[in-house]
Structure 1
Amino acid sequence: MSPIVDASLAALAVGPPIPLGELTLLPLFSSRAPGLAYLGLAEALETRQLVISEVSHAGEVPELALSSSASLPVLLVEGEALIGARQDRFVNASLLVPPGAGMRIPVSCMEAGRWSWSRPDFVDGGLLASDAIRRRTQRSVLASLAAGRGRRSDQAGIWSDIDQLHARAGSRTETRSLRHVLEQRNAGAQRRIEALPGQPGQLGLARFEAGRLRALELCSRDDVWSRLQPKLLRSLLLERSTLEHPRSPARSVPLPEDWLTALRARMSRSDVERYASPGLGHELRFEAPDLDATALVHAGELLHLAVYCD
C-alpha cells in the first residue's frame, strides 16, 4: 500500500448517507487541506484553456491531441467523456496536464458507428463511462502497461459493453454511442440524480449496494469534485434502469462501521504497480481478485483515486 494513498484514506470523514434506489451514497470529506491548485477538464474546455482534437485529419482511434494554454495544471479523470470530432471518446487514465503543455492522451472509442467530423474539436461530454466499462479499462490498461504497449484499452470489450447497455435500455442509435444510452433514460430520473447536492468541502463519494462497498472515488479539490460528481451520478443511470422509476425506499441496509478500515486493509493486500504518468506525477495501479483501483499522485499528494470492489 502506498503511504500517500493510505494516509489520504485515513484522513477521510464521512457525511450522512444518501439513499438512491438500491444504492447508498456516502459523501467524503478530508481533514487535510488541498495543496496543489489545478483545473478540472470541464472548466478548462469551457474556457478554452484546453483544446482537444484528433491527432491529424485522418485521426487515430486510441489517441487524441491536447493543447493547454492554462497557467495551472489540468486534471483529466479516467472515464471522462469527450464529444465531437470524428468519434466520441473517453479518457483511459487519469493524468495531470502540465501548464501550457501539448501532448497526446490515451483514449477509447465510445461511438463505434461514426468516423466522420461532427466538429473540429471535442467538448466535455458531461458524463463518465459506466462502472463496468471503467473497471474493464482499468484492468486492460494495466495489462497493456505490463506488456509495454502503453495505456491501450480492451476496445472490443468496451464496444460489447456499450452494445449490451443499448440492448438493456431498448435504445436505438446508428452510431452506437454510449451517451445515447443516457439520452434514452427518463428525463425525470436524470433531474433527480443531478439534483443531489454536493456539499462544501466534499471531495468524493463512496457507493454501497446491499450494504457492501462497490466503489469509491475522490479527488483532492472540492471545486473540481463539484463538477465531477454530476458526471458520476449520470453514469449510474447507464447501468441502472431501476433509478428511472421513483418508488418507496427499500428497507435500509446497515453499512459496516469499519468499512473504511476494511478498504485500507484490502488495498494493502493488493498487488501494486507504479508507472510514470504521461503528465505530471505517477500512477499507482492496485489489483486483487476482488478489487481494482488507480491513484494519481504528484508532489506527495493524492490527486485522484478510483476504487471498484466486488
Structure 2
Amino acid sequence: MSTITECLSQVRLGEPQVHHNLVLFPLIAEKSAEPHYLLLDEALARGCARVTEVSESGSVPELRFVNECDRPVLLLDGEELVGTKQNRILNLTVMAPAHKSIIIPVSCVEAGRWQAESADFASAKRAHYAAGRASKAAHVSASLRNSGTRRSDQSAVWQDISEKSERMQAHSGSEAAAAMYQQHRASLDDFLQAFQPVEEQAGAMFAVNGRIVGLDLFDSPATLSNLLDKLVESYALDAIDTMQAGSEGAATDDPQVMLDDTARAAVECFPAVGEGEDLRLHGERLTGGALVKDNRVIHLCAFRLQVRGSAADHGGSRFARASQRRSRWRH
C-alpha cells in the first residue's frame, strides 16, 4: 500500500458546508499529530524567516527562503508572496529546514512589473485560485519528469490570469492577480465567514457548481485550521468567477469518488527541495502532489483537470479570448 493510499484510508468525509455555489466537504483524519513545523505567516511574523530575490538581478522562477527559526517552516503550494520585483506563488509545498537558506520554485503572478518595491517579500495571506493551482500542478509534474526542475509554464500562468481578470473585471496596471481578490473582497469575505473547521478536520474537498474540483489534506488539524481561510478563498474566487444561475445548493459529484481516484492515482517520487520527498500524482483527469516526510503525508493536494472549451471548463468557452499577450518581462 502506498503512503498516499494508506493516508487516505484513514480519512472520512464530514457533513458538507454550503455557501452559494461552493461546497466544502471536511476531511476527518482518524490519526493526526501536532505539527513539528511553523507555517509561513507565523515564521515571517516572528521575524525568524524571510524571503528575498535570489540575487540583485533576480530570477522569475526562483526565490531565496532564509529560515533562521528553530523549527522547519512549511510553505504551501500556491501561497502568494508580494513585494520586491514582482509577486510570486509557490510552485509546490516545501518544508524549509531550520537554520538553512534554500532556493524555492515559484511562478510570477504579476506580469507587468520588474522593479523592486521592497528588500524582502511579505505574505499576501492568500493562495492562488484553485483552477490556477491545478494547471500549475500538472506543469510542475511534467517539468520534474522531463527535466528534473519544478517549473510551471509561466506563459500559461500569465495568460490564465489575464483571461480570468478580464472575466472578473479586475484591472491592474501591473497585471497582478491580486487585483481579482481586491475587486471581489466583499464577496470573498462572505465565503470566509460561511466555512468553519470542525473537530478532527485535517483537510477539505471543494465542489464548485456541483462539480468536485479539488482537495487539500494535512497531517494535523491545527495546520488545516490555520490554512483553511487561504483554501476557502482560493476556491471561492473560482466560485465567484463561474457563478451560474440555479447552481446554489445543487447536488455535487460524489466526493468519495474523488478520494478513491486520488488513492488510486499513479505516483512518481522525487527528492524534495527542502526536507522529505515530493510525490507527483497522475490519474484520469486528476493531477496533484504531496510532500512526504518519514513516511507521513505532510500535505496532499489533488485537482480535477477540466477540459478546455467543454461545459465543465471553469472559464467556459463563452469567455474565451483570442487576443495575444503583449511582450513580458523575462529575466
TM-score w.r.t. length of structure 2:
0.85
The equivalent position to 2:186 in structure 1, one of 170, 188, 191, is 188
Task: Give 1:228's aligned residue.
Answer: 227
Matched-pair contact (CA < 8 Å) for 1:39–1:224: no
Amino acid at match of 1:73: P
Task: Give 2:269's aligned residue.
Answer: 274
Distance 1:161 1:84 in 2: 21
Residue 302 of structure 2 corresponds to residue 307 of structure 1: yes
Matched-pair contact (CA < 8 Å) for 1:20–1:243: no
SS of residue in 1 equivalent to 2:224: helix
SS of residue in 2 equivalent to 1:147: helix
Counterpart mapping for 1:175-254 below 5 A? 175-185=174-184, 187-195=185-193, 196-209=195-208, 211-241=210-240, 250-253=248-251
Matched-pair contact (CA < 8 Å) for 2:207–2:252: no
Amino acid at match of 1:215: G
Q: Mean Cα displacement is larger for which, 5-14 or 30-39?
A: 30-39
1:254-273 superposed Cα distances (whole Å, 9 cap, x missing partner) = 663xx43x345423543321
Amino acid at match of 2:180: V
SS of residue in 2 equivalent to 1:267: helix
Q: Which runs of 5+ in 2 are unaligned?
A: 306-331
Distance 1:308 1:160 in 2: 20
Q: Alpha-carbon deviation of 1:77? A: 1.2
Distance 1:224 1:267 in 2: 21
Task: Name the count of aligned residue pairs.
Answer: 304
Matched-pair contact (CA < 8 Å) for 1:188–1:244: no
Task: Give 1:174's aligned residue.
Answer: 173
Distance 1:192 1:18 in 2: 14
Q: Mean Cα displacement is larger for which, 208-217 or 136-145?
A: 208-217
Q: Which runs of 5+ in 1 are unaligned?
A: none
Distance 1:193 1:176 in 2: 25
TM-score w.r.t. length of structure 1:
0.91
Provide closer, same or farther for how the CA distance between residues 107 and 250 of structure 1 changes in structure 2, counting only shifts above 3 A. Answer: closer
Matched-pair contact (CA < 8 Å) for 2:129–2:235: yes
Amino acid at match of 1:189: S
Provide closer, same or farther for how the CA distance between residues 200 and 227 of structure 1 changes in structure 2, counting only shifts above 3 A. Answer: same
Q: Alpha-carbon deviation of 1:222? A: 2.2
Provide closer, same or farther for how the CA distance between residues 190 and 35 of structure 1 changes in structure 2, counting only shifts above 3 A. Answer: closer
Matched-pair contact (CA < 8 Å) for 2:208–2:239: no
Amino acid at match of 2:81: L
Task: Give 1:283's aligned residue.
Answer: 278
Matched-pair contact (CA < 8 Å) for 2:212–2:252: no
Matched-pair contact (CA < 8 Å) for 2:206–2:235: no
Matched-pair contact (CA < 8 Å) for 2:36–2:71: yes
Matched-pair contact (CA < 8 Å) for 2:28–2:201: yes
RMSD of equivalent CA atoms: 2.2
Matched-pair contact (CA < 8 Å) for 2:206–2:215: yes
Using the aligned pairs only, state the percent identity.
Answer: 28
Amino acid at match of 1:188: A
